[in-house]
Amino acid sequence: MNKYIQELNESQKAAVLHKEGPMIIIAGAGSGKTRVLTYRIAHLMNQNIDPFNILALTFTNKAAREMKERIANVVGTSEAKNLWMGTFHSVFARILRSEADHIGFPQNFTIYDTQDAVRLITSIIKEMELDKEKYKPKQILARISSFKNSLITVRAYFGNPDLIEADKMAQRPKVGEIYHQYVERCFRAGAMDFDDLLLRTNELLTRFPAVLSKYQQRFKYILVDEYQDTNHSQYLIVKALADRFQNICVVGDDSQSIYAFRGANIQNILNFQRDYDNVQIFKLEQNYRSSKNIVQAANSVIEKNKTKLDKEVWTANDEGSKVKVKQTVNEVTEGRFVADSIFDHKMNDHLKNSDFAILYRTNAQSRALEDALREKDIDYVIYGGISFYGRKEIKDVVAYLRILINPNDEEALKRIINYPARGIGATTIDKLAVAANHYKKSIFEILENLDQYDLNFNSGTRTKLLNFVTMIQHFQIEAQTKNAFEVAEFVIKQVRFIKDLEQDGTPEGVSKVENVQEILNKVKNFTEEQKEKAEDDSLAHFLETAALETSSDVATKDDKPRVSLMTIHLAKGLEFPYVYIVGLEENLFPSAMSMTTRSELEEERRLFYVALTRAEKQAYLCHAQMRYRWGKLVDCEPSRFLEEIDEKYLENLTTVNHKPVQNKFINEDIFGSVPQDRIRFKKPIQRTPVKPTSAPKVEFQPPKNLKKVVKTTNNPINLFDANISVGAIVSHTKFGKGEVLSLEGSGANQKAEIRFASVGVKKLLLQFAKLTIIS
């Protein structure tokens, strides 16, 4: 028996050793799923199965890389090299490249990111002269995306009266037409969006039996990680490929399905046993990651979900300390609490920054945390958020590179045809776009043969356009002899990107220059690494990698240990000794957008479960009494998830009864001094009481009189919850002076009836009204 097998428990071992046929591994959080997957692959290879015949689909590129490394440790680097491992999107993008001609795409097709897709939809809506209030590009794209993920093609859409009817009812009868246009335009541009990578793969495998057969033959063993987060399109691809040999191994945890919003179908994992014959089921239920308190606290929450598979996660680990709950006044104090707590743990327990993670529901929450960490000089790294490739200056550089590879790429062309400014304005571009549509060509094709079309350009415009084309063609010729890095460098120099940015001299300009230099570095590193590995180092491949880079893939420049900040979605699959989950408030987590249906709420609950189970030793759950959202101060109620945790696993750090704050993290830092700004909390400013209404019954009820202590800003005055009383004279930014006639409601719902001299009596929600008190 091989050595690595001995490291496994009985159920893990069974899952690793099982050889042929369909199998599902239900892997509870922290149950050694990755270990099983890597050892299973290594074991297959030790059984003389050619790595060339193994396909492993992971959720992130990072997961793929790490797993590959671990496998290489067992079987050797050269052996592991032939394994095909990656995300659905990157694996099938590569397959599509080599098979592109079957479905009429150029080999160097572009991958449109979400921004490109939205822009394209926007122009289509404009061209069709539709009301963009009714047809919101983002929503339309979301709808198209859901069609694609369910394999509803344009033709299928028009053959389905229910869908057409639904869009009519939603006052959007033209959705089908937009969809049609969108697909057309992508096709003409030689571009695929993220969903196309899966949809077109399905097309390829369905329409071309020989191709299907080729890949079935090749991928004799297929493994799919995070199966609970696959969508219908992915499901069908897997099913098609596995059909021949039925050696399909899926791994997942229904309790951690958190991507329904992008089409993930939890039914895929729930129904796996029905989809394949003679399915072997393996359950990994022992958690090796977390303390008893954490595991049981998490279990007590997830129990509230109705839709789930039968499994019982347990651990033999120590009891550990209880999950700590902390209430703070606002997001600033929340950040400070976290930073102070991390600081203390580091000092007392000799820990590194990398032992800590801060998890939140939305990216926007990171700012307050960053500020607090910086104040304490704690190094951190943010995952996700606005990605490097999402920045304007980077998109501009990349657009030039994209055009070289695929000149039909319309979105890239539109970005750069007049950047830097070369006198080609909106009217000119519109004319070109209209002509392109009319002749069913790409804009670049029109430009290349400008003389053949009668477009009424004056000679100045014509010259500018011809110069542009010549420039691009010149770049293309250079690209034939230069490697990716040299091309990028050449283009940036020619276009005088950096000079342009340097001229503006602002700090933003400086950072943009740095970013442009950074993209050059990236191309350089890519070229060198690929060359080392004797793999594809073309510019086209670089662009593909860039387009499919996941937000969790970002690497930091140095190897300083850093506190990790990320959304919970990105934290899936990761683990940290100390985890802070912040913003546990109603309408934030669970999100206000996901509280209408039971299934949405269950997904939020799974998300919370994921968050909690990231922690090994200690979890902190933080919530604030109020925070700025949309630039406005709003009252926050503690999240229902806090109440759902069985109390016996919790310790409340929040001081009640108005006693001075006792928690050591709050009250004293290690130097024994109490920062000034925190002393203020002990002397809350009294405010005239608003007419009490029945407060909702909540555990962790905040001590109300702490409110309104911290003024984070003094510009827009929101009177909500402030000193307003009947009879007061106020001034409104729009309506002018008025008198308060009556008040009703409280908190976020407090309304005032005000008589204005200009417009008469109005009822205003104080939360939003821009009022100042005059007397």
| 34 annotated as a binding-site residue | yes
Give the list of residues 6+ apart from residue 207 with CB closer than 8 angstroms, or none. Answer: 102, 103
**Catalytic residues, which ones?**
33-34, 225-226, 256, 614
**DSSP for 465-507, written as a single string:** HHHHHHHHHHHHHHHHHS-HHHHHHHHHHHHTHHHHHHHH-SH
Q: Is position 31 annotated in a ligand binding site?
A: yes
In the complex, the smallest distance separating the C-beta of residue 60 from DNA, rounded to whole angstroms, is 6
**Options 421, 557, 657, 692; binder of DNA; rule CB under 7 A:** 421
Beta carbon of residue 231, minimum distance to DNA (angstroms, whole number):
9
Q: Which CB atom, from 52 or from 261, has the smaller least distance to DNA?
A: 261
Closer by beta carbon to DNA, 550 or else 639: 550
- Tokens matching residue 345: 């743990």
The SS3 assignment for 103 reads: helix
The nearer residue to DNA, 42 or 117, going by C-beta atoms, is 117
Q: Which of 734, 733, 727 is nearest to 688 (CA)?
A: 727
The answer to whether the annotation marks 30 as part of a ligand binding site is yes
| For DNA, the closer CB: 194 or 219 | 194
Residue 763's DSSP bridge partners are 753
Site string for DNA, 452-481 (x = CB under 7 A): ---------x--------------------
713 binds DNA (CB under 7 A): yes
Q: Which stretch binds DNA (CB under 7 A): 16-24, 216-224, 623-631, 676-684?
A: 623-631
Identify which of 12, 4, 55 has the alpha carbon closest to the alpha carbon of residue 36: 12
- Contact letters for DNA, residues 120-139 (x by CB under 7 A): --x-------------x-x-
- Check binding of 363 to DNA (CB under 7 A): yes
The residue (of 321 and 733) whose beta carbon lies closer to DNA is 733
> Cα–Cα distance between 90 and 186 in angstroms, integer?
19
Any contact of residue 384 with DNA (CB under 7 A)? Answer: yes
Looking at the Cβ atoms of 519 and 565, the one nearer to DNA is 565
Minimum distance from residue 364 beta carbon to DNA (Å): 6
- What is the smallest separation between the CB atom of 363 and DNA, expressed in angstroms? 4
Q: Which of 98, 114, 473, 667 binds DNA (CB under 7 A)?
A: 114
Instruction: Tell me whether residue 27 is annotated as binding.
Output: yes
The binding track of 286-325 with respect to DNA, each residue x by CB under 7 A or -, is ----------------------------------------
Residue from 418, 587, 655, 718 in contact with DNA (CB under 7 A): 418
Of 433, 432, 389, 397, whose CA–CA distance to 415 is shortest? Answer: 397
Nearer to DNA, 353 or 591 (CB): 591
* Residue 170 among known ligand-binding residues: no
Stretch that binds DNA, among 73-81, 271-279, 337-345, 357-365 (CB under 7 A): 357-365
Q: Should residue 89 be labelled a site residue for DNA when binding is judged by CB under 7 A?
A: yes
Rounded least distance, CB 593 to DNA, Å: 3
Query: HSE on the CB side for 345, CA within 13 Å?
Result: 23
Instruction: Please compute, for residue 450, the number of CA atoms within 13 A of its CA located in the half-sphere on the CB side.
Output: 20
Would you state the structure tokens that stand for residue 146, as one six-digit string?
């859901």
Residues that bind DNA (rule: CB under 7 A) add up to a total of 45
Nearer to DNA, 650 or 764 (CB): 764
For the CA atoms of 568, 569, 575, 580, the dihedral, rounded to the nearest 10 degrees, stands at -10
CB of 630 to DNA, least distance (A): 3
Report cis status (omega within 30 of 0) of the bond before 703.
no
Determine contact, residues 89/194, Cβ cutoff 8 Å. Answer: yes
* CA count, 13 A, side-chain hemisphere, 742: 5
Question: Does the annotation place 435 within a ligand binding site?
Answer: no
Q: Which of 374, 369, 373, 380 is nearest to 624 (CA)?
A: 369
Alpha helix positions (H), 282-409: 292-302, 331-349, 366-375, 392-405
Measured between alpha carbons, how far is 429 from 413 in angstroms, rounded to an integer? 10
Of 146, 153, 545, 591, the one binding DNA (CB under 7 A) is 591
Q: Which is nearer to DNA, 79 or 553 (CB)?
A: 553
Binding mask 715-754 for DNA (x = CB under 7 A): x---------------------------------------
* The one among 217, 362, 463, 667 contacting DNA by CB under 7 A: 362
CA-CA distance, 381 to 376, in Å (whole number)?
15
Q: CB-side exposure of 1: number of CA atoms within 13 Å? A: 8
Which part of the chain contacts DNA (CB under 7 A), choosing from 204-212, 336-344, 419-427, 666-674? 419-427
Q: 627 to 656, contacts with DNA by CB under 7 A?
A: 629-631
Among 39, 88, 109, 468, binds DNA (CB under 7 A): 88
Instruction: State the minimum distance, in angstroms, from the CB of residue 252 to DNA.
Output: 16
Binding segment for DNA among 81-89, 246-254, 330-338, 520-528 (CB under 7 A)? 81-89
3-state secondary structure of 307: coil
Give which of 202, 722, 620 is closest to 740, Cα–Cα: 722
**Nearer Cβ to DNA (516/588):** 588
Applying CB under 7 A, the span of 23-31, 182-190, 441-449, 590-598 interacting with DNA comes to: 590-598
Least Å from the CB of residue 122 to DNA: 6
Task: Give strand ranges (E) for 383-474.
Answer: none
Q: Is 593 in the site for DNA (CB under 7 A)?
A: yes
Instruction: Figure out which of the listed residues 12, 90, 181, 406 binds DNA, where binding follows CB under 7 A.
Output: 90
Nearer to DNA, 364 or 709 (CB): 364
Element (H, E) at 412: helix 410-416
| Least distance CB 485 / DNA (angstroms) | 25
The runs of H, that is alpha helices, within 170-271 are: 175-189, 194-207, 209-218, 232-242, 267-270
Task: Kindly identify the residues of this chain, within the stretch 525-554, that bind DNA according to CB under 7 A.
Answer: 548, 550-552
Among 289, 336, 361, 562, binds DNA (CB under 7 A): 361
Q: Is 28 flagged in the annotation as binding?
A: yes
Residue 32 annotated as binding?
Answer: yes
Q: Which one of the spans 156-164, 200-208, 421-429, 670-678 is the region binding DNA (CB under 7 A)?
A: 421-429
**Residue 569 interacts with DNA (CB under 7 A)?**
yes
How many CA atoms does the CB half-sphere of 214 hold within 13 Å?
A: 10
Q: Which of 290, 252, 261, 311 is nearest to 576 (CA)?
A: 290
Site for DNA in 261-280 (CB under 7 A): 261-262
Our measurement of the distance from residue 381's CA atom to the centroid of its chain's CA atoms, rounded to an integer in Å, reads 16
List of residues 6+ apart from 334 with CB closer than 8 A: 328, 368, 369, 582, 583, 622, 623, 624, 627
**Which of the stretches 42-50, 288-296, 359-367, 663-671 binds DNA when contact is defined by CB under 7 A?**
359-367
CA–CA dist 84, 54 (Å, integer): 6
Asked if 248 contacts 19 with a C-beta cutoff of 8 angstroms, the reply is: no
The most distant pair of C-alpha atoms in the chain lies apart, rounded to whole Å, by 89
The DSSP code sequence of 628-669 is: EETTEEEE-PBPHHHHHS-GGGEEE-S--TTPPP--HHHH--
Choose the binding region for DNA from 242-250, 296-304, 472-480, 562-570 (rule: CB under 7 A): 562-570
**What's the closest the beta carbon of residue 114 comes to DNA, in angstroms?**
5
Q: Could you tell me the two tokens for 315?
A: 């651990």
CA 286 to chain centre: 29
Binding annotation: 27-34
Interface contacts to DNA, rule CB under 7 A? 60, 87-90, 113-114, 122, 136, 138, 194-195, 258, 261-262, 361-364, 384, 418, 421-428, 461, 548, 550-552, 567, 569-570, 591, 593-594, 629-631, 713, 715
